[in-house]
Structure 1
C-alpha cells in the first residue's frame, strides 16, 4: 500500500495497492478516525451484485459500530460498460459532496487508470459508441 502525494489540488488521502492487501479496511479505519468518507477507485466494485471475486469487502466499512460512508460502489448494473470518463465525473461529484460537508475524502482502490484520471484531472470527452468500428477491431 502506498499513499499518493500528488493530489493536484484535492484535499484527499489516496490508498492504493494490489488486491487483498487490506486497503479497504485501512481506508475505513482512517476515515472513521478523521471524520471522513471513502471514494472507491475500483473498476469492478462499481457493479451491483458482484461481491464475490471483486474484493468488495463491505463489512470492512463497519468500524467501531459505525458504517463509514463509501461512494462509487454498487452503482452500475452488470453488463453496463462503465468507463473512466464516468468514473472521473462521479469522483468529482462525490469529492465535492464530501468536502462541502466538511469531511475528509479518501480514495481507495487498485484501478490505476481511475486514480490517475482523477488526480491528473484528465480532460476526457464523452464519445458515442461506434459498434461498427469496435467489431472491425475485435
Structure 2
C-alpha cells in the first residue's frame, strides 16, 4: 500500500525556501536507524547521527552502531570520530562540528524531494 502526502502538504513543501529536514526521535531499540536509512535513500539525503555514545570510536557493539553495510546504503556523519579516552568532549564540541557539516551538505529542493512512501 502506498501513502501519498496530501496536496496541502505538497504545496507547502514546494513553496518552502528551506530544504527538507527530517528529524527522527525515539527510545532505544525502536528502529530509528533503519527508518533513517530508508528515508535517506528515498530522499537521496545523508544522515547526521546525534547519538551521544555513537560519536566514540570502537564502541560499536555497546552502542549498536549501524554496520558498514548499512552506512553504505546512505551516507552517515558524526559516528566514530571521538577517541573514547577523551573525556572532555561536550555537546558544544558536537555542535561546533555539526553546524558546518549541515551547511556543507548538498541541498535538496522541495521540488526534487519525493513525496511518496511505501512501507
2:107 alignment partner, one of 102, 106, 116? 102
C-alpha distance after superposition, 1:35-62 (max 9, x if no partner): 1000001110001111011121225735
What pairs with 1:51-90 in structure 2 (closer than 5 Å)? 51-59=60-68, 61-62=70-71, 66-81=72-87, 82-90=89-97
Q: For 1:103 and 1:57, locate their aligned partners in 2 and report how far apart those are by CA, in whole Å.
A: 24
Q: For 1:93 and 1:15, locate their aligned partners in 2 and report how far apart those are by CA, in whole Å.
A: 20
TM-score (normalizing by structure 2): 0.67
More strand by share: 1
Aligned alpha-carbon RMSD (Å):
2.1
- Unaligned 5+ runs, structure 1: 1-8, 105-138
C-alpha distance after superposition, 1:12-47 (max 9, x if no partner): 210011111100010011000001000001110001
TM-score (normalizing by structure 1): 0.59
What pairs with 1:23-38 in structure 2 (closer than 5 Å)? 23-38=32-47
Cα distance change, pair 69–92 in 1 and its aligned pair in 2 (3 A): same
Query: How far did residue 90 of structure 1 move?
Result: 1.4
Query: How far did residue 79 of structure 1 move?
Result: 1.4
Greater RCO, CA 8 A, separation 6+:
2
* Match in the other structure for 1:15: 24
What pairs with 1:39-50 in structure 2 (closer than 5 Å)? 39-50=48-59
Q: Which runs of 4+ in 1 moved over 4 A?
A: none
